[in-house]
Amino acid sequence: MGDAIALNHEMLECMADAGCVGLKFGLDSADSAILDAIKKPLKVHRLKSLIEKAGKLGIKTHMSVVFGLTDETRETMEATFEYACELDIDSVQFSMATPCPGTDFYSELATEGRIRPAKWEEYDGSNMSVINYPDFSGEYLERFTTDAHTIWLRRKFRKPSWLWRQAHYLVRLTRGQGWPGLSKRFWRTIQLLTGDSVAVSKTDVARVMRW
Nearest CA to 126 out of 38, 27, 29, 199 is that of 199
Is the pLDDT score of 205 beyond 50? no
pLDDT tens-digit series, residues 155-173:
999 999 999 999 888 888 7
Nearest CA to 206 out of 107, 127, 123 is that of 127
Do the beta carbons of residue 208 and residue 173 sit within 8 Å?
no
Is the pLDDT score of 105 beyond 50? yes
CA distance linking residue 8 with residue 53, whole number of Å: 9
**CA end-to-end span of the chain, whole Å?**
12
Reduced to 3 states (helix: H, G, I; strand: E, B; else coil), residue 22 is: strand
Lowest mean pLDDT among 30-39, 85-94, 136-145, 166-175: 166-175
The pLDDT of 97-110, averaged and rounded, is 93
The pLDDT of 133-157, averaged and rounded, is 93
Kindly indicate whether the domain formed by 9-158 is annotated with CATH number 3.30.9.10: no
Is the pLDDT score of 209 beyond 80? no
Is the pLDDT score of 197 beyond 50? yes
Q: Exposed, middle or buried by CB within 10 Å (0-12, 13-18, 19+), for 129?
A: buried
